[in-house]
Amino acid sequence: MNFNCWFTEIHNNNISFSVRVKNILYIGKSKYQEIVVIDTYDFGRALILDNTFQTTERDEFIYHELITHIPLFTHPNPKDVLVIGGGDGGTVREVLKHPVERVDFVELDEKVIEVAKKYLPKLSCKIDDEKVNLIITDGIKYVAETDKKYDVVIVDCPDPVGPAKGLFEKEFYKNVFKCLKEDGLMVQQTESPLYDLELIKNIAKYLKDAGFSIVMPYSYPMPTYPSGMWSFTLASKKYNPLKVDENKIKEKLKSMETKYYDEEVHKGIFLATPKFLKDAVKF
Ligand code: SAM
């Protein structure tokens, strides 16, 4: 039998991206979302939440390395890290390549963790590490209530809809600022520069208003996300990613395996920020 099955993500009713499916591994529903894992011909296994690609085995390294190593190499000595979202485990896996002491991993949906552990072991392989403290709760509520202080906060969130909407709002950034140490920094997934420029502009404004002195978006290719061009935004109280000593990164990378990130990418990704994106966040 020739199994000719395709998964199509439709973006804003007008654009779609399709992959041919080899096998459907899991379909289920949690309290928060519909969860699907498929095996595809060209992208390996893919996690889909509410019909939206979250991650695929083929291109996840681009996203997870850049959301993690840029902030963790910008901070000179990150020990306490908070990851919000990121239920597939890819970000936690990358964080643990650094000599951190503790990772508080705040994910809303324990079903995503359970499914990732079973079907996406390449990503979820470090979730049960002894340094990881998994907290199943809403990240918005967590940062509003916690007394803990972190060196780095990483917000590995989906699109700003449903329970993730508040992760893109003013109040959230004020609370993240509050739970960072005085030289702390944060990074967040901030959507497509091409399709969501207004959102990125608002996020940058909220971050500045929250008190961060350095706010810098960075963009990169992401084949399975709408427009193929994606962004993170770094917000820092003190450290500037462009002032990091490349030689120190190079030295540390000798004992760390990466596929996308290196000391040249660390600065180059900011230096190559497209003009329209830089202009959008100039105030
Ligand atoms: N890389 C992905 C992207 O750009 O779409 C995000 C991947 S990760 C699977 C996103 C996770 O954020 C999901 O597992 C979801 O359950 C979680 N999430 C959504 N809203 C959240 C919230 N308010 N607090 C904590 N986690 C949340």
The 10s digit of each residue's pLDDT in 92-101 is 999 999 999 9
Residues 59, 151, 156, 196: which is the catalytic one? Answer: 156
156 counts as catalytic: yes
**116 plus 239 within the same structural domain:** yes
**What's the rounded Cα separation, in Å, for the pair 201 and 207?**
10
Which residue stretches of the chain have pLDDT < 50?
none
Domain that holds residue 19: 5-56
Q: Whose CA is nearest to atom 12 of ligand 1?
A: 85
CA of 204 to the centre of ligand 1 (A): 20
Average pLDDT, rounded, for the chain: 97
Residue 102 structure tokens: 């503790």
Q: Whose CA is nearest to atom 1 of ligand 1?
A: 54
The CATH number of the domain holding residue 34 is 2.30.140.10
Helices (H), the chain: 60-74, 90-95, 110-119, 121-124, 139-145, 170-178, 197-210, 246-253, 263-271, 275-280
Residue with tokens 């180059």: 268
Residue 154: CB within 6 Å of ligand 1? no
**45 plus 117 within the same structural domain:** no
CA of 85 to the centre of ligand 1 (A): 4
pLDDT at 1: 60
**143 plus 216 within the same structural domain:** yes
pLDDT at 283: 76
**46 plus 151 within the same structural domain:** no
pLDDT at 3: 77
How much is the pTM? Answer: 0.98
Residue 60: CB within 6 Å of ligand 1? no
CA-116 nearest atom, ligand 1: 9
**What's the rounded Cα separation, in Å, for the pair 237 and 208?**
10
**147 plus 261 within the same structural domain:** yes
Q: Whose CA is nearest to atom 4 of ligand 1?
A: 158
Total count of domains within the chain? 2
**161 plus 177 within the same structural domain:** yes
Cα 140 to chain center, whole Å?
Answer: 16
